């Protein structure tokens, strides 16, 4: 099965012959494979920073879109917001629910598609998405849905990997081994200011962006590869699609990328990965 995460070619147009539903089904299987929550929990700080950037306040109605294991959901709930956490992978929501229970946080979890949210117009004060909505096949639909369900004067907060950061480079590398569907827009476009303006600008009173870095911290490149190969769906599926020789070649290439970007010295792995933090104020 191919990897449906096209960060290889930042196309500016979408091929109308692309079967988005079929791609979405394969994506869903990809993110359900492995155990993304093992990796996802390490990204919690991004959810906390996004909740602060979006100025999430006590009592506000907050929707977490493509929530994964709930990093932004937990961050908003810790600020005493009324949170609804949504994703199309039930297993990930279960992991988020377990985390919320452990912390005594009141969060509603719902299995929903970011491209077709079942909520009424203006149902929420804030919508958040950390490395989630950016991976939907049709970029315009989740943007339109978030704008629809957020009230006038509300905010949308996003954290999106950039094309030139570590994750953007990683997916370009993987795409050379397991090509994505032709005609798909790159998820990494969500990590560029012009694409954000294209998606949200018509209904935005203000758009603030800031480039930030998340540091992947592991014992070594081999440790990172072991964790991601076993638990991170896109890498897990890519490896499963390759024969042993190609798997070894991909491993060597990822190791070289990690070691080139490592700023942790010879006894540790610290790889900064750039992402774009976005806060949109709706008209």
Question: Per-residue pLDDT tens for 85-103?
Answer: 999 999 999 999 999 999 9
Please state the φ and ψ torsions of residue 251, each to the nearest 5 degrees. -60, -40
**Distance (Å, whole) CA 255 – CA 253:** 5
- Entry pTM: 0.89
**Distance (Å, whole) CA 59 – CA 56:** 9
**Distance (Å, whole) CA 167 – CA 133:** 16
**Distance (Å, whole) CA 47 – CA 70:** 9
Nearest to 16 by CA among 114, 140, 194: 140
**Distance (Å, whole) CA 156 – CA 267:** 40
- Residue that is written with structure tokens 């602060």 in the block: 52
Please compute the mean of the pLDDT values over residues 123-141 and round it to a whole number.
96
Please compute the mean of the pLDDT values over residues 255-279 and round it to a whole number.
98
Please state the φ and ψ torsions of residue 256, each to the nearest 5 degrees. -65, -40
CB atoms under 10 Å from CB of 2, counted, come to 16
For residue 194, give the DSSP letter: H
**Token code pair at residue 75:** 């961050």
Domain 20-282 has CATH 3.90.1300.10: no
Domain extents for the chain? 20-282
**Token code pair at residue 157:** 């907060």
Query: pLDDT at position 233, please?
Result: 74
Percent of the chain with pLDDT over 70: 88
């Amino acid at each position: 099965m191919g990897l449906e995460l096209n960060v290889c070619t930042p196309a500016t147009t979408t091929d109308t012959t692309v079967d988005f539903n079929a791609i979405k089904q394969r994506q869903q299987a990809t993110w359900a494979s492995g155990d993304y929550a093992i990796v996802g929990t390490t990204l919690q700080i991004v959810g906390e920073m996004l909740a602060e950037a979006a100025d999430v306040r006590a009592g506000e109605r907050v929707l977490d879109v493509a929530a994964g294991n709930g990093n932004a959901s937990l961050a908003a709930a810790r600020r005493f917001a009324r949170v609804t956490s949504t994703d199309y992978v039930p297993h990930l929501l279960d992991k988020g629910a377990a985390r919320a229970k452990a912390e005594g946080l009141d969060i509603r979890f719902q299995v929903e598609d970011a491209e077709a949210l079942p909520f009424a117009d203006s149902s929420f004060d804030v919508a958040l998405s950390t490395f989630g909505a950016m991976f939907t096949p049709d970029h315009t639909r989740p943007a339109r849905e978030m704008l629809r369900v957020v009230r006038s004067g509300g905010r949308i907060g996003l954290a999106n990997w950039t094309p030139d950061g570590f994750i953007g480079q990683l997916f370009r590398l993987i795409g050379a081994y397991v090509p994505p569907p032709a005609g798909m827009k790159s998820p990494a476009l969500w990590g560029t200011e012009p694409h954000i303006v294209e998606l949200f600008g018509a209904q935005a009173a203000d758009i603030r962006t800031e480039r930030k870095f998340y540091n992947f911290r592991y014992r070594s490149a081999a440790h990172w590869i072991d964790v991601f190969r076993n638990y991170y769906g896109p890498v897990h599926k890519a490896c499963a699609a390759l024969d042993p020789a190609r798997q070894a070649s991909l491993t060597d290439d990822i190791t070289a990328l990690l070691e080139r970007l490592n700023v942790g010295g010879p006894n540790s792995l610290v790889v900064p990965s750039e992402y774009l933090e976005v806060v949109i104020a709706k008209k």
